[in-house]
């Protein structure tokens, strides 16, 4: 776009990054790219065993006594594709398609979260005309799957008076606090048995067409969870017809609201027409319930070969009962910050392992006591049903440092530069600032970034004028911070 002037280099670097696979857990390539980028500029660079990268750049002449600054972002991305896409995230480049003021990919996530922040950092790094105090750039890994990179940062590995995180996804928004979270893994013994006599037909039942979305940022919209919707309908079918469950699978990422779930059923041929009629009726009921949030909700029923093997009754009962009863969505809202979800639960993934069916639940909260309650509740429900559950992947909330000098300067400059006033807020999603505060307790932090819509879904897109505005603002802020 012609209007993208200063950020032109940002978009060029983002395109280079989009050629390199960088799904969470597969970040060596993009990490090496950043290391080489710094080496080509003759800068000091360190890469740790988690592929985190720290780059150090001396202060601009005359800025040696300014506060030291850390620019921080994560280099991994959530890799989700449309169900009819054959994109291979392990090798295929991510498309950068520009339409009007927006950039999107080709039926996959774009990776603007947080690749656009990383591209801004590298563009700043190579710009020797940029004025700034002593500066370090911190690129972290595995943010999307549990913040493993930030967890691995050790005291002394990076230092600074101020930290600017570039992972907020609404222009003019400044994040000063975020939720903490954890995972609960429920493991149901996977017992199978031969299909019973009389069950002489097979049906595949899919809940699809849901928006899904980021389980922190978009949980407030109370969209349908495909895993729970599928379970609710299966339960109702079981109350009216003999049914054996042969498989159940739904969701792909712990931090994405599942948009699709599918089950295979063994049924009596004489009941097939009636079950299809019931599912068609249920589709209308669920569209009535979720039509505003998920107008694309669709139930797809297809005839399939009769399964030879099905789940044992105990396995089916535990699975259906757990998902049916488990909390999903918004659990509580903040009493002190308007319109902020305080605590939420996402029944993110249901998948078969070798000996178990795993139900992966993602819990978030800005209140540690509420987080503890909901995590214990999900574990207690599992134990009540006689199945195991364990808690993993805990990360702390980032508590608000009200009235910090960094916040005052950042907001004042923004309001001088733009007609739209800054919005200082807390978010329900997790940011690495909470973890980094553990090794940088005296570092003041703030987060901002360009507008990204529908992250963690194939509908992800970034607003290019906001990329320009945020980049221009970032350059001005680095030169002004005192």
SS3 percent helix, strand, coil of the chain, rounded to 5, is 30, 30, 40
Exposure of 16 by Cβ count < 10 A (0-12 exposed, 13-18 middle, 19+ buried)?
A: middle
Look up tokens 């005291």; give the residue: 155
Q: Are 304 and 264 in contact (CB under 8 A)?
A: yes
* Three-state SS sequence of 177-202: EECEEEEEEEEEECCEEECCCCCCEE
DSSP assignment of 325-370 equals HS--EEEEE-SSSTT-EEEEEEEEEEEE-SSEEEEEEEEEESSHHH
Q: Hey, what are 148's tokens?
A: 């493993």
Q: Alpha-carbon dihedral of residues 137, 139, 144, 147, nearest 10 degrees?
A: -80
Strands of 209-286, DSSP E = 243-250, 261-267
Of the candidates 27, 76, 169, 328, the residue annotated as catalytic is 76
Q: Are 6 and 468 in contact (CB under 8 A)?
A: yes
Q: Hey, what are 446's tokens?
A: 């703030």
Q: Report d(CA 68, CA 70) in Å as an integer.
A: 7
How many residues can be counted in the chain? 482
Closest Cα partner for 121 from 70, 189, 197? Answer: 70
Alpha-carbon distances of 218 from 20, 53, 76, 256, 289, rounded to whole Å: 28, 30, 20, 9, 18
Q: Alpha-carbon dihedral of residues 327, 142, 140, 328, nearest 10 degrees?
A: -10
Cis peptide before 92 (omega within 30 of 0): no
372 among known catalytic residues: no
Q: What values do phi and psi take at 383, rounded to 5?
A: -65, -35
Chain Cα centroid distance, residue 445: 21
* Three-state SS sequence of 126-144: HCCCCCCCCEEEEEECCCC
358 among known catalytic residues: no
Residue environment code for 25-62, b if the CB has 16+ CB neighbours within 10 A, otherwise e: ebbeebbebbbebbeeeeeebebbebbbbbbbbebbee
CA–CA–CA angle 153, 156, 160 (5° rounding): 95
Of the candidates 23, 27, 113, 143, the residue annotated as catalytic is 143
Chain Cα centroid distance, residue 2: 32
What is the set of active-site residues?
76, 143
């Amino acid at each position: 776009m012609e209007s993208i002037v200063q950020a032109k280099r940002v978009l060029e670097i983002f395109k280079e990054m989009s050629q390199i696979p960088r799904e969470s857990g597969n970040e060596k390539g993009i990490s090496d790219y950043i290391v080489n980028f710094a080496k080509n500029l003759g800068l000091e660079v360190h890469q740790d065993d988690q592929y985190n990268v720290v780059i150090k750049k001396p202060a601009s002449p005359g800025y040696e006594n300014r506060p030291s600054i850390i620019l921080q972002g994560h280099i991994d991305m959530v890799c989700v594709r449309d169900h009819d896409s054959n994109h291979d995230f392990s090798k295929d480049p991510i498309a950068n398609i520009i339409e009007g003021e927006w950039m999107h990919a080709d039926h996959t996530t774009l990776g603007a979260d947080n690749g656009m922040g990383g591209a801004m950092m590298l563009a700043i790094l190579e710009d020797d005309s940029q004025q700034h105090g002593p500066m370090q750039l911190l690129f972290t890994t595995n943010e999307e799957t549990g913040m493993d990179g930030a967890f691995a940062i050790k005291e002394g590995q990076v230092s600074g008076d101020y930290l600017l995180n570039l992972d907020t996804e609404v222009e003019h928004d400044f994040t000063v606090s975020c939720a903490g979270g954890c995972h609960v893994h429920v493991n149901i013994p996977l017992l199978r048995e031969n299909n019973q006599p009389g069950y002489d037909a097979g049906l595949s039942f899919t809940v699809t067409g849901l928006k899904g979305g980021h389980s922190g940022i978009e949980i407030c919209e109370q969209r349908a969870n495909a895993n729970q919707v599928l379970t609710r309908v299966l339960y109702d079918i079981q109350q009216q017809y003999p049914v054996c469950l042969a498989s159940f699978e739904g969701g792909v990422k712990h931090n994405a609201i599942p948009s699709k779930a599918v089950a295979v059923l063994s049924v009596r041929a004489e009941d097939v027409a009636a079950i299809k009629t019931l599912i068609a009726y249920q589709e209308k009921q669920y569209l009535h319930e979720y039509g505003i949030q998920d107008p694309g909700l669709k139930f797809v029923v297809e005839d399939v070969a009769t399964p030879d093997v099905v789940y044992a009754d105990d396995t089916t009962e535990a699975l259906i009962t757990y998902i049916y009863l488990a909390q999903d969505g918004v659990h509580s809202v903040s009493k002190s910050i308007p319109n902020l979800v305080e605590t939420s639960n996402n029944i993110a993934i249901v998948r078969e392992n070798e000996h178990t069916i795993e139900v992966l639940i993602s819990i978030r909260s800005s209140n540690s006591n509420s987080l503890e309650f909901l995590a214990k509740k999900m574990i207690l429900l599992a134990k009540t049903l006689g199945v195991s559950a364990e808690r993993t992947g805990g990360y702390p909330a980032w508590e608000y440092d009200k009235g910090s000098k960094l916040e005052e300067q950042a907001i004042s400059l923004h309001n001088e530069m733009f007609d739209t006033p800054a919005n200082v807020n807390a978010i329900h999603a997790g940011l690495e600032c909470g973890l980094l505060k553990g090794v940088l307790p005296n570092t003041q932090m703030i987060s901002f970034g360009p507008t990204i819509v529908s992250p963690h879904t194939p509908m992800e897109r970034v607003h290019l004028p906001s990329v320009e505005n945020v980049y221009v603002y970032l350059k001005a802020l680095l030169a002004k911070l005192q």
